[in-house]
Amino acid sequence: MEDVESLNQMALKRELDITKMSFAAFVPLQQQYHLLDSGSALGNNCGPLVISKRKISEEEIPNCTVAIPGAHTTAHYLFNKFYPNVKAKEQMIFSEIENAVLNGDTDLGVIIHENRFTYQKKGLMKVADLGELWEQKTKMPIPLGGIFMKRTFSIDVIHKVEALIKESVLYAFAHPEEAIPYVKMHSQEMEEEIMWQHIHLYVNDYSISLREKGEEAVKKFLALSNA
């Protein structure tokens, strides 16, 4: 059980046989890891947000300091894509970014996960929605993260693991209440309302199966990453 950037770093060192990983981290690992059909986080209106404590114009952004949730996260990839001239970045665990902005340690923060539901209550404001910018550019849902398995395993074993993950996701959809104690145990935000908002936003039909639209979105992401 690790922060997504820690998992990205472990995957880049080939330490994990099966792992969650940001799609941005997957870009250089396509020959080593296989994307499983189930367990991914893709969607619309669910991308990372850029937040600040005060109103910041587009022109100011290149000169701002920015907190990012890891160099290999999809959030950082998207921020770089739309704001390539920003140089002053500080990496930190995603759950620390709101406070970094609140305390004035950085001008901006790129937030992910449940923080998109909490930043306004803390008096912070949205500067940009990176997912929205992605959707405008590509007309595709944003691929955030997925479950990957080393290609050293046989295709039969990969398909078996894929089927088990799909079965688990389907069971969770059918019996959501059974997952709640586990989610609460590992949740950064313990308010049940926020927990459910987080689940409903990031766990959807793409988590069951990428299907054609999801696969197309991933291909577009990889193509633009390599461009």
**How many angstroms separate the Cα of 151 from the Cα of each of 179, 188, 218?**
30, 33, 18
Rounded Cα gap, residues 67 and 53, in angstroms = 13
> Sign (positive/negative) of CA torsion 13, 17, 19, 21?
positive
- What backbone phi and psi angles, to 5 degrees, belong to 18? -135, 130
Q: Give the active site residues.
A: 113
Angle among Cα 151, 143, 159 to the nearest 5 degrees reads 30
Does residue 201 sit in helix, strand or coil? helix
Return all residues near 184 (Cβ < 8 A) that are at least 6 apart.
190, 192, 195
Reading the block at residue 119, the tokens are 């930043």
Cβ proximity of 92 and 69 under 8 Å: yes
Q: Are strands 18-22 and 49-52 parallel, antiparallel or unpaired?
A: unpaired
The CB density around residue 55, as the number of other CB atoms within 10 Å, is: 8
